[in-house]
Amino acid sequence: MERIELINWKSKDEIEIKRLLDNYLVIEHRKNKETEEVKEYKREIPIINVEMLWKIIEKHCELNKMYSYRYLVERVCATYNLPFIENLSLDTMINAFNGGKYRSKYYFPFFYYPLKVLEYKEKIIYFGRGGIIRLC
């Protein structure tokens, strides 16, 4: 039998988070699949984005109960009125939220990185597919 060993790094390591004056600095490292070169990426996420997502979670999520990605995204889109801003229906906006221009414009600054900060602050458990459990 042939044995194949795989390195289980999946091109990313743990995210490092630092609090700045009005932002969180999110630092991650990604490995290029072809060259295996590792690069550091830094993003500043406004504290207000984290606070807004936490308010959404507090209002719509019970303690110790699991909530899906779609459930959370629907509430984020409605809170920020994103379908109106982009002139889309709510369903279209939710389906497009994770792709194309919406990924960099809304998904990362209003959802993904704020969730990672909340996870770092131990307010939620975050699952890789966007679901959460509220802890406090």
State pLDDT tens for residues 55-76: 999 999 999 999 999 999 999 9
State pLDDT tens for residues 62-111: 999 999 999 999 999 999 999 999 999 988 898 888 787 888 899 999 99
First to last CA, the chain: 49
Q: Where are the domains of the chain?
A: 47-134
Higher pLDDT, 95 or 11: 95
CA distance 71 to 65: 13
CA distance 46 to 109: 8
Tokens 């959404």 label which residue?
A: 56
- Residue 53 pLDDT grade (very low, low, confident, very high; cuts 50, 70, 90): very high
> Are 83 and 22 contacting, i.e. CB atoms less than 8 angstroms apart?
no
* pLDDT for 113 beyond 90: yes
Check: pTM over 0.75? Answer yes or no.
yes
The DSSP call for residue 64 is T
Residue 34: the pLDDT is 86
